[in-house]
Structure 1
């Protein structure tokens, strides 16, 4: 019995990390694309820099601003060809800016909704990489899920979680199916 519980606990622990996604936010002409991104807890956001020097800096909560958040993340200066990645483990609203020079004042700001958007969030804000050149990369396969032009993802553009692990309904079904299969395999 202990072995069976251990296997189920292991599946419950590993499944969310296997289903985690990586989202790209590119810097195009000094602005972030997409500016608004909806992700699930546990997902990673990657800022590849194919532009001039930039820095990804967390800003104070609330409306987007150019004021750095004390204790928030800061990528440091990233030159063309460098990238910055960050895992967002828990539900949050994360605002960030370009911390180099006057880029923020020129519109280099962004928002990441980790988990469901809170009530009162701007419903007209663009969501996910479908509004831009950003794409999703599945950490399970390591392949980029963009169309041949690289401008639109071929998978669902918004990852709307509905459980404590930040899984969509189809991912919950997949997880439960796998758990049932393993349970049947071990005679649970």
Structure 2
């Protein structure tokens, strides 16, 4: 059996192309959707199209809270037009809040369920808090945005696969 660069590259690239990027927006001072089900390896992007500044800050596990998770992610202050994006490689529930001022206390909190709730993102549905089928408030954020997202890690795999394929030829 002849091994080609294309067959080796396919082993590494196919999983990377399956990864999706999902948007969570701030609408009327709340995350939309507040709860999002994704698959491991998917990314979430929080674009700030709101008039106010926002910061995406990971909170402690369990029930949603406004307590920062020590060592958790923190986007820093994002102004209108800026975005924060994070890839979630492993299963679990990740809670987060808006870390600016009293926004968290006012309810600007959310949860990313990575491969743990419902379909694990495989069918591409997002759920709003308290509902299993509610759509986001004003935009179709329950669908991945744009083209497949190629992570830096998958780019490295592609390069290695191409190199190995060239050696085999």
| Runs of 4 or more consecutive aligned structure 1 residues displaced over 4 Å after TM superposition | 6-9
Which sections of structure 1, spanning at least 5 residues, go unmatched? 119-123, 143-188
Number of residue pairs the alignment of both structures matches = 136
The answer to whether the Cα contact below 8 Å between 1:48 and 1:82 also exists between their aligned partners in 2 is yes
Structure with more relative contact order (C-alpha pairs < 8 Å, separation 6 or more): 2
- Pairwise CA RMSD: 2.5
After the TM superposition, which residues 68-147 of structure 1 pair with which residues of structure 2 at under 5 Å, given as runs?
Answer: 68-117=68-117, 125-126=130-131, 130-132=135-137, 133=139, 134=141, 135-140=143-148
TM-score, reference length from structure 2: 0.71
The answer to whether the Cα contact below 8 Å between 2:19 and 2:149 also exists between their aligned partners in 1 is no
- 1:29 alignment counterpart: 28
> 1:43-84 CA distances to partner (integer Å, 9 max, x unpaired)?
110101011000000000100000000000000000111111
What SS is found at the alignment partner of 2:79?
coil
Distance in 2, Cα, partners of 1:19 & 1:27: 26
Which sections of structure 2, spanning at least 5 residues, go unmatched? 119-128, 151-169
